[in-house]
Amino acid sequence: MDIFDAIKNRRSVRRFEDRPVPEELIRKIVEAGQWAPSACNRQDWKFIIVDSNEVKERILKETAAYFIGKAPLLIFVLYSNRTDNLEYKDHLLSAAMAIQNMQLAAYSLGLGACCVNNLPIKSRLRKILNIPRHYDPVALLCMGFPKAVPGPLKRKEDLDGVLCKNCFSFQDDYPGVDIKLIVKRIIRFIYYRLPASLKKLLDPVARKFEKKFDK
């Protein structure tokens, strides 16, 4: 498969067929993550496969990303946070490069995937999955055989709109103080820290604010 075709044709898939992903495909996908670049070649990834319905239910009680409950395969991507480069958080960069490798590998194997970070707060996720404090859960990959594949989405800008030379020369139209963004951040901060029982009561409201996609 041509790499540029894979990059342009891969989609975030949220609807899956009700059949398991074979073990050999799971191993190939994780191996693709292992072959990603990493800061200072630390290769400090860890991957947790979740196929237990009990564990899935505990996660679902804490998140508004409801489609993850119907994904046949969940892969949590972790990376050691014991970095001295806090300025650029190179552990997050290293994890992100592995995640993209895994999504492209999944696509090449006929699987659909979606990267999710609307998850329980890290302290609760660590408790659910028994993750030590020196590893950060960076994202969750939902995977399976696609039941529906979204159509292509046009890029918001052409190449010249995102490319410049030597210095930032774009027209910056962001407000100095974005009240709407501040309010959304506060609401999200509070929502993440609510007990699961209260989140369940607020579930109908949370669903209204969850971003909808065509598939």
- pLDDT per residue over 34-83, tens digit each? 999 999 999 999 999 998 889 998 898 888 777 888 899 999 999 999 99
Q: What is the pLDDT of residue 111?
A: 96
3-150: CATH, from 3.40.50.2300, 3.30.70.20, 3.40.50.720, 3.40.109.10 = 3.40.109.10
Beta-sheet strands, E only, within 32-94: 45-50, 73-80
The residue ranking higher by pLDDT, 101 or 204, is 101
Average pLDDT, the chain: 89
Taking each helix axis from N to C end, the angle separating 53-60 and 122-129, rounded to the nearest 10 degrees, works out to 170
HSE-CB at 90 with a 13 A cutoff on CA atoms is 12
pLDDT for 20 beyond 90? yes
Confidence band for 208, pLDDT divided at 50, 70 and 90: low
Q: Can you read off the two tokens belonging to residue 9?
A: 């044709």
pLDDT for 209 beyond 70? no
User: Which residue type is seen at 180?
Assistant: K
Query: What proportion of the chain, given as a percentage, has pLDDT over 90?
Result: 59
Confidence band for 212, pLDDT divided at 50, 70 and 90: low
Which range among 94-98, 179-183, 197-201 shows the weakest confidence by mean pLDDT? 197-201
Pick from 139, 166, 184, 152: which is nearest to 45 by CA? 139
DSSP state of 202: T
Q: What is the pLDDT of residue 211?
A: 62
CA angle, residues 104, 144, 147, in degrees to nearest 5: 105
Q: Can you read off the two tokens belonging to residue 48?
A: 């947790």
Confidence band for 207, pLDDT divided at 50, 70 and 90: low
For 120-174, how does the pLDDT look when each residue is reduced to its tens digit (9 = 90+)? 889 999 999 999 999 999 999 999 999 988 888 888 889 988 899 999 888 877 7
Spatial separation of the C-alpha atoms in residues 179 and 102, rounded to whole Å: 37
